[in-house]
């Protein structure tokens, strides 16, 4: 249990620091990829609703508290995304790469669309197609591209965790 | 083997709990400003990590920079030497003009407007992890005397304004952010305009300006734009950038266009924070005026010397009236044409104008 919490905290922190410190230096088409959404979505469909929403909750907290913006918005968004991804756990097979990339893509699309609606549309900026072309689509592509290596890393950690868990369970019996 | 939760309802309950926490936090922010304990927690956890990473990054950057070939450096040296000669000549001419300017300023008592502001240097340690906003974190906070609403510059140009302060960090919203509004002044004609950040222009590093009166004053690309006396949050006379494009709006009353900022927003590493806020400077000025006025009233019993004194206060008052009417028209404009994200800025200006009016009318 403690191991899980430690690994989860490390993963969230790592993705957050990469996203705020490292990737702004590697902008493509003037956007940075959203690593936290990759983590939240993969935790959701790999490990289920509970870990999905917990990881989402704390990633959102980190983003909101230490990266400007309104406290609570990203928390709500990421918690819901983690939870919703948990519904697709039964469709998840470890050796299929298409499914996770598509799930991560959909999550990224939904999160950036909702951000647009909350901070731009409700402020009277209705140029959605423009923002879609400028921000949403480039971010989506960059995130999906990066999700392939990052997903493999998360998967490796996940299978390692599962293995040790089942070992312990068998020892116990 | 995947472990399914035996009771799916349990998950739903947990989800509802988390969502209600988020909703409570969102609601709490309507009534209170700032993020409470998170600022302090972040100051001792996240900020040190970001600082470390940023120093590591700049160290790597320095190493790659050092590998520039000698040839390049030599060529650059030649170039720079030529430039130094040219600048020396320019400098001489400018210094002569400086003396003249000083003399004229003394005559007009304009000194305070162009005073050298005291600044604190700071490093940028993190960007916002989002593509929708343009803000960044610097490594100085309230322990170093940084306060909210202090203006931030990089080199000679205006970068943004401090919006959040923690003990050892501060967040700066840059002027190219979509929510940013700055009251600008065209240096050549003294016309005011509103400089507004735009998400679509953020990637090009350009900013839009609007609500520039369509009068007879000729304004061409290349003219300098600085912050105006009207703004309630930005000090007067900070350099924003050069006009790159200008056109008359379809209403035929105003002009708008684009500004190329003096700062390259994609490569900000070090910034300077001006320790004087506009509010403080306004208070200082009213205090000075009050002092001057009381002095002139005590001197009023005489006849010969008081003349100049009363003249002075008179002229002061008229300039005040001017600035007040300017702010009023400015806020009107902002309200009228307000459709976009100008909301926050407009309101801020409005509040500022009111307080400014109150402050300035009392003496």
Q: What are the structure tokens assigned to A20, written together? A: 């705020």
Contact call for B35 and A73, based on CB within 8 A: no
pLDDT band for A77, please (50, 70, 90 cuts). very high
Percent of chain B residues past pLDDT 90, beyond the cut: 7
ipTM comes to: 0.78
Please give, rounded to a whole number of angstroms, the shortest distance from the CA of A110 to a CA of chain B: 14
Predicted confidence at residue A105, as pLDDT, reads: 93
Q: Please name the member of B4, B54, B135 whose beta carbon is closest to the beta carbon of A21.
A: B54
**Does the beta carbon of B59 lie under 8 angstroms from any beta carbon of chain A?**
no
Contact call for A120 and B11, based on CB within 8 A: no
**Does the beta carbon of A120 lie under 8 angstroms from any beta carbon of chain B?**
yes
Contacts by residues A143-147 (CB-CB < 8 Å, ≥ 24 positions apart): A143/A33, A143/A34, A143/A35, A143/A37, A143/A38, A143/A104, A143/A105, A143/A108, A144/A101, A144/A104, A144/A105, A144/A108, A145/A33, A146/A33, A146/A35, A146/A38, A147/A38, A147/A42, A147/A100, A147/A101, A147/A104, A147/A105
* Contact residues, chain A, for B64 at CB < 8 Å: none
Domains of chain B (ranges plus CATH)? 70-113 (no CATH), 118-283+329-363 (2.40.10.340)
**Does the beta carbon of A91 lie under 8 angstroms from any beta carbon of chain B?**
no
For residue B56, what are the contacts with CB-CB under 8 A and spacing of at least 6?
none
* Contact residues, chain B, for A27 at CB < 8 Å: 266
Contact call for B57 and A71, based on CB within 8 A: no
- Secondary structure of chain B in the HEC alphabet? CCCCCCCHHHHHHHHHHHHHHHHHHHHHHHHCCCCCHHHHHHHHCHHHHHHHHHHHHHHHHHHHHHCCCHHHHHHHHHHHHHHHHHHHHHHHHHHHHHHHHHHHHHHHCCHHHHCCCCEEEEEEEEECCCCCCCEEEECCCHHHCCCCCCEEEECCEEEEEEEEECCCCEEEEECCCCCCEEEEEECCCCCEEEEECCHHHHCCCCEEEEEEECCCCCCCCCCEEEECCCCCCCCCCCEEEEEEEEEECCCCCEEEEEEEECCCHHHCCEEEEECCCHHHHHHHHHHHHHHHHHHHHHHCCCCCCHHHHHHHHHHHHHHHHHHHHHHHHHHHHHHHCCCCCCHHHHHHHHHHHHHHHHHHHCC
Predicted confidence at residue A106, as pLDDT, reads: 93
Q: Please name the member of A30, A72, A80 whose beta carbon is closest to the beta carbon of B25.
A: A72
Least confident of A151-155, B201-205, B338-342: B338-342
Q: What is the mean pLDDT of residues B274-282?
A: 84
A20-58: pLDDT as tens digits: 887 777 777 778 888 999 999 999 998 888 889 999 999
What are the φ/ψ torsions at residue A124 (nearest 5 degrees)? 95, 15
Predicted confidence at residue B178, as pLDDT, reads: 83
Contact call for A63 and B129, based on CB within 8 A: yes
Q: What is the mean pLDDT of residues B269-276?
A: 86
* Contact residues, chain B, for A115 at CB < 8 Å: 130, 132
Domains of chain A (ranges plus CATH)? 2-168 (1.10.1760)
Most confident of B51-60, B61-70, B250-259, B308-317: B250-259
Please give, rounded to a whole number of angstroms, the shortest distance from the CA of A154 to a CA of chain B: 16
Contact call for A72 and B22, based on CB within 8 A: yes
**Does the beta carbon of B128 lie under 8 angstroms from any beta carbon of chain A?**
yes
- Smallest CA-to-CA distance from B239 within B208, B270, B261, B212 is with B261
B13-52: pLDDT as tens digits: 888 888 888 888 888 877 776 666 777 777 777 888 888 8
pLDDT band for B333, please (50, 70, 90 cuts). very low
pLDDT at B309 over 70: no
Predicted confidence at residue B351, as pLDDT, reads: 39
pLDDT at B125 over 70: yes
**Does the beta carbon of A12 lie under 8 angstroms from any beta carbon of chain B?**
no
Q: Which of B130, B174, B202, B334 to mutate to test the interface with A (most CBs of A within 10 A)?
A: B130
Contact call for A49 and B26, based on CB within 8 A: no
- Is B11 or A141 the better-scoring residue by pLDDT? A141
Contact call for B22 and A76, based on CB within 8 A: yes
């Amino acid at each position: 249990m403690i191991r899980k919490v430690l690994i989860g905290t490390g993963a969230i922190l790592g993705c957050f620091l990469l996203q705020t410190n490292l990737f702004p230096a590697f902008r493509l088409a003037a956007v940075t990829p959203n690593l936290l959404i990759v983590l939240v979505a993969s935790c959701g469909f790999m490990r289920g609703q509970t870990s999905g929403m917990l990881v989402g909750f704390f990633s959102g907290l980190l983003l909101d508290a230490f990266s400007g913006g309104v406290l609570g918005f990203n928390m709500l968004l990421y918690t819901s995304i983690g939870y919703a991804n948990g519904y697709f756990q039964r469709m998840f097979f470890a050796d299929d790469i298409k499914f996770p990339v598509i799930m991560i893509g959909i999550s990224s699309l939904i999160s950036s669309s909702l951000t647009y609606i909350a901070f731009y549309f409700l402020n009277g900026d209705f140029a959605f197609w423009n923002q879609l072309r400028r921000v949403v689509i480039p971010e989506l592509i960059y995130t999906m591209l990066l999700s392939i290596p990052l997903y493999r890393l998360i998967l490796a950690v996940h299978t390692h965790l599962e293995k040790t868990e089942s070992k312990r369970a068998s020892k116990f019996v | 083997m995947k472990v399914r939760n035996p009771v799916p309802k349990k998950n739903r309950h947990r989800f509802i709990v988390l969502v209600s926490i988020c909703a409570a936090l969102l609601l709490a922010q309507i009534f209170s400003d700032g993020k409470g304990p998170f600022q302090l927690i972040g100051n001792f956890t996240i900020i040190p990590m970001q600082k470390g990473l940023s120093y590591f990054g700049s160290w790597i950057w320095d190493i790659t920079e050092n590998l520039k070939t000698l040839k390049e450096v030599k060529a650059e040296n030649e170039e720079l030497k030529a430039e130094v000669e040219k600048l020396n000549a320019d400098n001489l001419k400018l210094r002569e003009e400086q003396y003249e300017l000083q003399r004229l300023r003394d005559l007009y008592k304009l000194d305070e407007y162009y005073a050298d502001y005291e600044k604190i240097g700071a490093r940028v340690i993190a960007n916002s992890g989002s593509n929708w906003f343009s803000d960044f974190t610097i490594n100085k906070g309230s322990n170093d005397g940084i306060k909210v609403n202090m203006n931030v510059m990089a080199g000679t140009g205006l970068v943004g304004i401090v919006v959040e302060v923690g003990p050892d960090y501060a967040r700066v919203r840059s002027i190219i952010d979509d929510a940013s509004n700055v009251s600008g002044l065209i240096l050549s004609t003294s016309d005011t305009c509103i400089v507004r950040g735009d998400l679509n222009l953020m990637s090009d590093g350009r900013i839009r300006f609007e609500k520039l009166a369509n009068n007879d004053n000729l304004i061409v690309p290349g003219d300098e734009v600085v912050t105006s006396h009207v703004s309630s949050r930005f000090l007067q006379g900070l350099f924003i950038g050069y006009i790159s494009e200008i056109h008359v709006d379809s209403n035929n009353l105003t002009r708008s266009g684009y500004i190329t900022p003096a700062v390259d927003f994609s490569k900000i590493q070090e910034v300077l924070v001006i320790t004087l806020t506009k509010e403080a400077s306004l208070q200082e000025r009213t205090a000075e005026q009050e002092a001057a006025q009381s002095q002139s009233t005590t001197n009023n019993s005489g006849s010969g010397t008081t003349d100049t004194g009363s003249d002075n206060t008179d002229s002061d008052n008229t300039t005040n009236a001017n600035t007040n009417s300017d702010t009023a028209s400015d806020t009107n404009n902002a309200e009228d044409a307000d459709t976009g994200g100008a909301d926050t800025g407009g309101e801020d200006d409005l509040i500022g104008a009111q307080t400014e009016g109150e402050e300035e009318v009392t003496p």
